[in-house]
Structure 1
Amino acid sequence: MSLPKITHLPSVRLLSSITKHRQQVLLPPVTLQTVPRRAVIQSPYRRPGQPKQDKFPWQNINFDFSKGLEGIKTTFMLLKKEFTDRWVGPEGKPILEHMLEQNRVVWEFRGPESLEQWTVSSDLEIGGQSEVFLKLGKNNNTCFLYGSLDSTPPRDGETRYSGYCTMRSKQPLGSFNRKKHYDWTSFNALHLRVRGDGRPWMINIGTETYFSHQKDDVYCYFLYTRGGPYWQNIKIPFSKFFLTHRGRIQDDQHPLWLDKINTIGFTLGDKADGPFQLEIDFIGVCKDYAHTEQFAYEVYKRNPEV
């Protein structure tokens, strides 16, 4: 009686198959969870639909002789003012008046030259259909911001949302185009006198940052207008402003840095298509002794107590 032949597998192949089987049973594959976070190094923002600019930075400079003479004249005027202000006191005020100051008007609109400190923009820059305009109000004593909002996105294949209008102050500059900052450490609230049409606005405050990837960080809070012919005196504590980055609220919140304020702006984006208007009398800061809150939001303890 003949027995069937039994073929033996090589020991190497047998061990590899057993090891592979044990790895599949005992050690299942684990997928790493990725947490979205802000990148340390970011490329400059390019609006959708616009081609990349392959130019060197100096190719965008306008080398005009008349423009250079006007810049030299402006620089020496600012330099003279900086020297004289140092002898008088901070910001050209006596030191006693500066210490006891409780209210300060930073921006007021009393002539055509006051509008030169502001700039307006809308989604028209990215192919949208919203329009915004800025002019002086009646008797040249107010700022009148008006236009039409349209939330229809442009057909560029990239933009999904649209419909915004913005008014923002320009960066203050000193002599030789040095950056200057507003110092509001003596105050704790923003004071505005406005008259709107009932739409909600967003107030944006930009501060000086220490790192390049924080250049788009903005502190925001809401401005609710009630409409009608009456003016509103609005006081918003600085402790209410929260930190955002490119429109996204950040988890790591910290109070507003009042010693280096760069710009302030107003943004409308309530998705209500149609005309809008906002009239501003002045924008200032004040010291409210009844408000003692340091910060209204939860912050992380970097060195928690044991």
Structure 2
Amino acid sequence: MKKDTLLFDFGVGKDFGNWSIVNDGVMGGLSQSKASLETDALLFTGNVSLENNGGFVSLRSPLGSYDLSSYGYCEIRFKSDTQRKFEVLIEKDTPFYLPKFRVKFGAKGKDWETVTIPLRDFEISRMGTTIQKGIEPEVLKEIQRIGFILADKQEGTFYLWIDYLKFY
């Protein structure tokens, strides 16, 4: 039976789970970020630093078992203070050296936007380098974690408000 949606709905009083920050400090970098709940969104903010071979910040879901194989699309409602490219990150395996699934998205202005991305547009990457474009639905059966990452090799501050992330 096909599930209708998997929804992470962010905001005060909403049940979205305990998302956590993973920054380049795990490899010696100096980037910093934090997440806080706003009235009807999650605010992910910070500063990306390239010092000490750094360069990424991320916000990730709790470890779990997410079967995305019956979904065709990923939808995000967000706004940002920058036109930098963020990425939705899907992890089948969590060790940093194993491949991840990624797709870029970015703001066109400073107002709320909704983007819909076909899951077939995700790329398989390893440590930021694209290995393959496109992923097979079969691979999406045993996802352990979902998240957002900013790894555009640009220093500076950012703000990203996320209303929801939905798979359908």
Letter in 1 for 2:112: W
Unaligned residue ranges in structure 2 (runs of 5+): none
Contact 2:93-2:100 within 8 A present in 1 as well = no
Equivalence for 2:147: 265
Unaligned residue ranges in structure 1 (runs of 5+): 1-97, 154-160, 173-180, 287-306
Q: Cα 1:171–1:215, aligned 2, differ >3 Å: closer, same or farther?
A: farther
Q: Cα 1:193–1:254, aligned 2, differ >3 Å: closer, same or farther?
A: closer
Equivalence for 2:12: 111
Please state whether the residue corresponding to 1:277 is helix, strand or coil: strand
Please state whether the residue corresponding to 1:202 is helix, strand or coil: strand
Query: 1:17-166 residue pairs with structure 2 within 5 A?
Result: 99=2, 102=4, 104-111=5-12, 114=15, 116-137=17-38, 139=39, 141-153=40-52, 161-166=53-58
In proportion to residue count, which structure has more strand? 2
Residues 256-290 of structure 1 deviation map (CA, whole Å, 9 limit, x = unaligned): 4232222112111223322101110111112xxxx
Higher normalized contact order (CA 8 Å, seq sep 6+, divided by chain length): 2
For 1:246 and 1:239, locate their aligned partners in 2 and report how far apart those are by CA, in whole Å: 20
Instruction: Report the identity percentage.
Output: 23
Q: What TM-score do you get using the length of structure 2 for normalisation?
A: 0.83
Cα offset for 1:122?
Answer: 1.7
Contact 1:149-1:272 within 8 A present in 2 as well = yes
Structure 2 counterpart of 1:239, from 85, 100, 120: 120
In proportion to residue count, which structure has more helix? 1
For 1:214 and 1:167, locate their aligned partners in 2 and report how far apart those are by CA, in whole Å: 14
Contact 2:25-2:54 within 8 A present in 1 as well = no
Please state whether the residue corresponding to 2:25 is helix, strand or coil: helix
Cα offset for 1:124?
Answer: 3.1
For 2:164 and 2:123, locate their aligned partners in 1 and report how far apart those are by CA, in whole Å: 23
1:218 aligns with 2:100: yes
Equivalence for 2:59: 167
Please state whether the residue corresponding to 1:259 is helix, strand or coil: helix
For 2:143 and 2:98, locate their aligned partners in 1 and report how far apart those are by CA, in whole Å: 14
Q: Cα 1:112–1:163, aligned 2, differ >3 Å: closer, same or farther?
A: farther
Letter in 2 for 1:243: I
Letter in 1 for 2:155: D
1:206 aligns with 2:98: no
Calculate the aligned-residue CA RMSD, in Å: 2.8
For 2:126 and 2:31, locate their aligned partners in 1 and report how far apart those are by CA, in whole Å: 23
Cα offset for 1:112?
Answer: 6.2
Equivalence for 1:186: 70
Count of aligned pairs between the two proteins: 166
Residues 27-64 of structure 1 deviation map (CA, whole Å, 9 limit, x = unaligned): xxxxxxxxxxxxxxxxxxxxxxxxxxxxxxxxxxxxxx
Structure 1 counterpart of 2:156, from 233, 252, 274: 274
Higher CA-based Rg: 1
For 2:42 and 2:158, locate their aligned partners in 1 and report how far apart those are by CA, in whole Å: 14
For 1:130 and 1:184, locate their aligned partners in 2 and report how far apart those are by CA, in whole Å: 30
Please state whether the residue corresponding to 1:258 is helix, strand or coil: helix
Query: 1:279-294 residue pairs with structure 2 within 5 A?
Result: 279-286=161-168
Contact 1:192-1:233 within 8 A present in 2 as well = yes
Contact 1:115-1:135 within 8 A present in 2 as well = no
